[in-house]
Chains A and B, each alone.
Chain A
Amino acid sequence: MKRYFREISVTLALGLVLLGLAGFAPAFYQPQPLLSLATREAPTLVVACGMVLVIICRQIDISVGSQFSVCSVCAALLAARGWPLAMVVPASAALGALLGAVNGVLVAGLRLPSIVVTLATMVTLRQGLNLVRQGAFVNLPDSVQWFGLSQAAGQWTLVGAALALLVAFGLAMRHLAAGRWVYAVGTDAEAARLAGIRPQLVTFLVFVLLGALTGLAATMNLVQSPQVQPMVGAGLELKVIAAVVVGGVAISGGRGNLWGAFAGLLLLACVSPALTHLHIEAYWEKAIQGAIILLAVVADGVRQRKQKF
């Protein structure tokens, strides 16, 4: 109970918001807008799955937004050339994995601080993309839209895929030795090394995994609109990191899980529609999200201070 205090409190907060909406703004619970909301958030959830691993490993990756843009544009160009989605999706994931590997090599191989490395790759990727593309949009063939399915079916596919990945990663972190390694490295890399775990390899792999998931998420976004603009992933990193932190994953590593990050993501995602339905000005959205993040960080700080002995 005490161990999962943060996950439980985020879930309770989410429950309270949903309950409050049921009371004051029942219009929130219309199936079609809800499905649209879930669809919009599905790619973010997929990136968050990878970010949870990276942060538990006591690292961070702020270049995911730029990775997302690069993968989106490249995937869109391939699709525009007539590649089938069955090839575009893995290609985009592979490109993402490659970008993640660059971060991984710099962080794990050269032991550079991840915040600086990924800041550099964030800017480099973003500016490189602007330079090459000059801000040009890519028009997508109709067959890409919702995988060529009906809109509803496409939306359900995306939401289903994101939830399946969440469950898969949740189970893996709990039931695979590899998941245990991520926690061990994030808590005490030296103890892990003495115990025969290879901290540098684990660190490298979580960056690769996050990159691959980001590439995948880019295609999940791609199928939702008729064209792709190059700024598509801007600000994604903040959204993802906020969700993960609100969900109780400790930025100092070694603690947290996917369920918490999922609840954190939903909580932050509910703010905007909730304001709409409660007829509150949309300017409040960012302020409220900021307050939620601050609250989560304060809760972690208090918790850690109590644990000092």
Chain B
Amino acid sequence: MAAASPTPSPLLSLRRAAKSYGGVRALRGVDFDLRAGEVHALLGENGAGKSTLIKIITGAHRPDAGEITVAGRTLDGLTPALAQQLGIACIYQSPALFPDLTVAENIGLRLEPAGAMRRVDWGARHRRAAQLLQQVGASIAPAAEVRTLSMPEQQLVEIACAIGAGARIVVMDEPTASLTQREQERLFTVVRELRAAGVGVIYISHRLEEIFALADRVTVLRDGQSVGTHGLNEVTEAGLIKLMVGREVAQIYPPAESAPGEPVLTLRGVGCAASGVHGVSFEVRAGEIFGVAGLVGAGRTELARILFGLTPADAGEITLNRERLAPRSPPEAVARGIAYVPEDRRRHGVVLEMPIAQNMTMAVHRRLFPGGWLRGAAEQGLARDFIRDLAIKTAGPDAPGGSLSGGNQQKVSLARWLATQPRLLILDEPTQGVDVGAKSEIHRIIRQLAKDGLAVIMISSDLPEVLGMSDRIGVMRGGTLTAVLPGGSPAAAVMAAALGQNERPDPA
């Protein structure tokens, strides 16, 4: 199955591509080749650099260093327009079509020459759309509005656009994430046809069985570096998992010292139809850090939102300190002693325009300001205490939240929730986008909080963090908790559970 034709020059090749966002190095010198007529899978855990690589190939982002060779032209970087011109097309998980326009209009917008005064030949537009749709085996009317199509149908429209544009390189980013088995089979047929026509397909998926069924070669990314490209006849599933996670744990994590106490939170068969979480059961004890691992979209944040009353559970039973818990709003959850430090602190955590002190007291107005009168002294005192305890580097309580670094913003967000004096602390990606130094400080703080008797749920996509910090690790997949592993489990075991692998990979 491996591409047999000896292609002297690949369709696309990347040399030493590097890209940083702020202080975070997303790609550190990646080499990558795509041949004509191959399906090349891209594999790696969350944050390994897959999406950054794709963004460089589609021209969405410019690499900081390295070069790209496409169609015989060697460039420092692409723009979206140039990428399109060079025959690169990308099919996203959720297609980027205009929902209120018809299929033919969408295809026309992509493929017909631009020009504000150009007259539209409606007959030709519909004929062309119909022909392209037929080519991808879709029975979709060109006059249908895109919003009436299902997700897989929209993907087929995207593929039709790619074919119509004469794309030589097609990037597919988790295309099967929302497809049923049958839709998936149809998609595979289209991909195989593309391959037969000499198109190079870059295929990103977390589903190993798909990669084995479809791809010719696979490149594994880890920590922004390529750890190897292999023909799929040369590797096993277990071997791939080992490649994905096999790394030195570069950081020292603070050790757990105390034995966990009484169970604080217990879940039995908890589910919420609206957010796709179902049948989750586990317990968290006082003084324990319960890590929650899983791939993006596995339902981890959704679980946190249930516990915080943002999307109330409609199945199962939750108890907090032996009393039934069914929060229907954040204030209810806070009143019961639950705190939730959300992911993406830039959007919903620290208010950048607001002084730090006001940010910290935002969730405790009722306790701190009885009668509704702001008490400046109390607010400043609370802020100073947290600035000292969490070692927040700032000019003072009145500095705006936006003046802080990412790590210190995260500490302010943490302080806001610690001010509510919770018994259960839920952290969602507590160190995302935080530099290494601040990261280990935050880890130290989290461990100290657990030592002080708090029950901590820590959701993280950072596998070493989950492994290093957690006393126990719950792994989520497809909206449910599939495994609870002891702290210090091998990374491969956690990754296997997250990928839905039944057989244990051979021990490292």
Binding between chains A and B: yes
Instruction: Please give the residue numbers on chain A whose beta carbons come within 8 Å of chain B beta carbons, in ascending order.
Output: 3, 174-181, 183-184, 187-188, 190-198, 254-255, 307, 309
- On whether the beta carbons of B372 and A176 are closer than 8 Å, the reply is yes
Query: Would A177 and B369 be within 8 Å (CB), given that A188-B351, A193-B330 are in contact?
Result: yes
* Contact digits for B373-410, partner A, Cβ 8 Å, 1 yes 0 no: 11000000000000000000000000010100000000
Which residues of A are found within 8 Å of B330, using beta-carbon distances? 193-196
B124 within 8 A of A: no
- Nearest Cβ on chain B to A202's Cβ, whole angstroms: 12
Which residues of A are found within 8 Å of B353, using beta-carbon distances? 187, 254-255
- Nearest Cβ on chain A to B416's Cβ, whole angstroms: 7
Which residues of A are found within 8 Å of B342, using beta-carbon distances? 194
Query: Would A175 and B374 be within 8 Å (CB), given that A184-B354, A191-B349 are in contact?
Result: yes
- On whether the beta carbons of B365 and A180 are closer than 8 Å, the reply is yes
Select one of A179, A188, A195 contacting B416, CB under 8 A.
A195
- On whether the beta carbons of B331 and A187 are closer than 8 Å, the reply is no
- On whether the beta carbons of A197 and B354 are closer than 8 Å, the reply is no
Per the bound structure, the CA–CA distance linking A197 and B331 in Å amounts to 8
- Nearest Cβ on chain B to A171's Cβ, whole angstroms: 10
Task: List the B residue with the shortest CB-CB distance to A193.
Answer: B330
B340 within 8 A of A: yes
- On whether the beta carbons of A196 and B334 are closer than 8 Å, the reply is yes
Q: Would you list 17 pairs from A and B whose C-beta atoms are within 8 A, ordered by A residue?
A: A3-B400, A177-B372, A178-B372, A184-B354, A184-B362, A187-B351, A187-B353, A191-B348, A191-B350, A194-B348, A194-B363, A196-B330, A196-B331, A196-B365, A196-B366, A254-B351, A255-B353
Query: Would A180 and B331 be within 8 Å (CB), given that A188-B348, A195-B416 are in contact?
Result: no
Per the bound structure, the CA–CA distance linking A177 and B378 in Å amounts to 13
Query: Would A197 and B373 be within 8 Å (CB), given that A183-B354, A187-B354 are in contact?
Result: no
B106 within 8 A of A: no
- Nearest Cβ on chain A to B396's Cβ, whole angstroms: 13
B480 within 8 A of A: no
Which residues of A are found within 8 Å of B362, using beta-carbon distances? 180, 184, 191-192, 195, 197
- Nearest Cβ on chain A to B179's Cβ, whole angstroms: 31
Instruction: Please give the residue numbers on chain B whose beta carbons come within 8 Å of chain A beta carbons, in ascending order.
Output: 308, 310, 330-331, 334, 340, 342, 347-351, 353-354, 358, 362-363, 365-366, 369, 372-374, 400, 402, 416
Q: Which of A174, A191, A309 has the most CB of B within 10 A?
A: A191
Query: Would A195 and B363 be within 8 Å (CB), given that A175-B374, A309-B402 are in contact?
Result: yes
Q: Give the 3 A-B residue pairs with the shortest CB-CB distance, closest first.
A: A195-B363, A196-B331, A195-B362
Which residues of A are found within 8 Å of B366, using beta-carbon distances? 177, 196
Select one of B331, B365, B400, B416 contacting A177, CB under 8 A.
B365
- Nearest Cβ on chain B to A179's Cβ, whole angstroms: 8
Which residues of A are found within 8 Å of B416, using beta-carbon distances? 195
- Nearest Cβ on chain A to B165's Cβ, whole angstroms: 34
- On whether the beta carbons of B351 and A176 are closer than 8 Å, the reply is no
Task: List the B residue with the shortest CB-CB distance to A183.
Answer: B354
- Nearest Cβ on chain A to B498's Cβ, whole angstroms: 27
- Nearest Cβ on chain B to A160's Cβ, whole angstroms: 25
Per the bound structure, the CA–CA distance linking A79 and B197 in Å amounts to 86
Query: Would A194 and B354 be within 8 Å (CB), given that A177-B365, A177-B369, A307-B402 are in contact?
Result: no
Which residues of B are found within 8 Å of A3, using beta-carbon distances? 400
- Nearest Cβ on chain A to B305's Cβ, whole angstroms: 10
Task: List the B residue with the shortest CB-CB distance to A184.
Answer: B362
Per the bound structure, the CA–CA distance linking A255 and B358 in Å amounts to 14
Which residues of A are found within 8 Å of B340, using beta-carbon distances? 194
Task: List the A residue with the shortest CB-CB distance to B361.
Answer: A180
- Nearest Cβ on chain B to A222's Cβ, whole angstroms: 33
Q: Which of A190, A195, A197, A255 has the most CB of B within 10 A?
A: A195
Per the bound structure, the CA–CA distance linking A254 and B350 in Å amounts to 14
Which residues of B are found within 8 Å of A255, using beta-carbon distances? 353
Which residues of B are found within 8 Å of A178, using beta-carbon distances? 372
- Nearest Cβ on chain A to B89's Cβ, whole angstroms: 32
Per the bound structure, the CA–CA distance linking A196 and B330 in Å amounts to 6
Per the bound structure, the CA–CA distance linking A197 and B373 in Å amounts to 16
4 more A-B residue pairs beyond the given contacts A177-B373, A181-B365, with a C-beta to C-beta distance below 8 A:
A177-B366, A179-B374, A196-B363, A254-B353
Q: Which of A3, A188, A194 has the most CB of B within 10 A?
A: A194
Which residues of A are found within 8 Å of B348, using beta-carbon distances? 188, 190-191, 194
Per the bound structure, the CA–CA distance linking A194 and B349 in Å amounts to 9
Per the bound structure, the CA–CA distance linking A59 and B331 in Å amounts to 24
Per the bound structure, the CA–CA distance linking A175 and B331 in Å amounts to 22
Per the bound structure, the CA–CA distance linking A309 and B206 in Å amounts to 33
Task: List the A residue with the shortest CB-CB distance to B332.
Answer: A196
Query: Would A184 and B351 be within 8 Å (CB), given that A177-B365, A196-B334 are in contact?
Result: yes
Task: List the A residue with the shortest CB-CB distance to B354.
Answer: A187
Which residues of B are found within 8 Å of A196, using beta-carbon distances? 330-331, 334, 363, 365-366
